[in-house]
């Protein structure tokens, strides 16, 4: 009977995790970021201590978001009408998520900084002489391809809605160009934050789904890298 209760506890915990993932888009975002970070950790060949720190920070962020969701559900159930104390409690819970997310970003940046810097410098050595018109060409190609893809699914236009996200593609194309042309991991990181702010605004406004934004970002990065690589082959 005791073992069955333990199994039930695990099942209930998994149900809660699945419910949070389905119901809260912020939890979806945290899971996607966690997946990308862990993939980057494998590719970067981190030490055991660095991997442990990443696991702890990722777990803290997801756990904080789950606690935040649970607190919001409890407050809505006990006090469905507006109350300033209920609002304050929700804001503080959201603040806890913000603190853990900011801490996780700092840990990730410190761990990956040297590897990002060396990687960006290796790219820069290959294409630092690429003229600015290569970036413009890549942006034009992305605009054309996004318009073509949206014409196939007949939903949305380039500036609003549809698969893939044009804003996401252009934002990550610019991020990729800045990364390839600059000699600083700091500049690359700042441009990435700007790109993330763009796609977050599109997602929060409900203009694009997570899949549309993700595919747009991947498309923007991939096409930009291909254009730069083709320029090197031609030159």
Selecting among 24, 50, 65, 212, the annotated active-site residue is 65
Q: What CA–CA distance (Å, rounded) separates 75 from 169?
A: 39
Residue for token pair 């761990």: 111
Q: What CA–CA distance (Å, rounded) separates 37 from 57?
A: 11
Q: What CA–CA distance (Å, rounded) separates 210 from 107?
A: 25
Cβ-contact 231, 134 below 8 angstroms: yes
DSSP for 38-51, please give it. HHHHHHHT--HHHH
65 is catalytic: yes
Task: Please give the positions annotated as active site.
Answer: 65
């Amino acid at each position: 009977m005791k073992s069955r209760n333990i199994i039930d506890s695990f099942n209930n915990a998994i149900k809660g995790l699945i419910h949070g993932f389905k119901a809260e888009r912020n939890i979806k975002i945290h899971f996607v970021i966690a997946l990308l970070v862990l993939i980057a950790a494998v590719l970067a060949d981190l030490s055991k201590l660095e991997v442990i720190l990443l696991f702890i920070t990722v777990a803290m962020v997801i756990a904080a978001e789950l606690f935040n969701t649970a607190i919001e559900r409890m407050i809505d159930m006990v006090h469905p009408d507006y109350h300033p104390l209920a609002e304050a409690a929700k804001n503080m819970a959201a603040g806890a998520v913000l603190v853990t997310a900011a801490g996780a970003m700092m840990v990730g940046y410190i761990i990956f900084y040297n590897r990002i810097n060396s990687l960006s410098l290796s790219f820069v050595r290959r294409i630092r002489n690429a003229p600015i018109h290569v970036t413009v060409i890549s942006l034009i190609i992305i605009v054309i391809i996004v318009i073509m893809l949206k014409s196939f699914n007949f939903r949305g236009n380039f500036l609003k809605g549809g698969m893939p996200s044009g804003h996401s593609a252009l934002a990550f194309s610019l991020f990729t160009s800045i990364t390839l042309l600059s000699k600083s991991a700091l500049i690359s990181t700042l441009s990435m934050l700007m790109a993330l702010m763009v796609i977050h605004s599109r997602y929060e406004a409900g203009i694009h789904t997570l899949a549309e934004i993700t595919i747009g970002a991947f498309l923007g990065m991939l096409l930009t890298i291909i254009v730069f690589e083709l320029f090197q082959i031609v030159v």
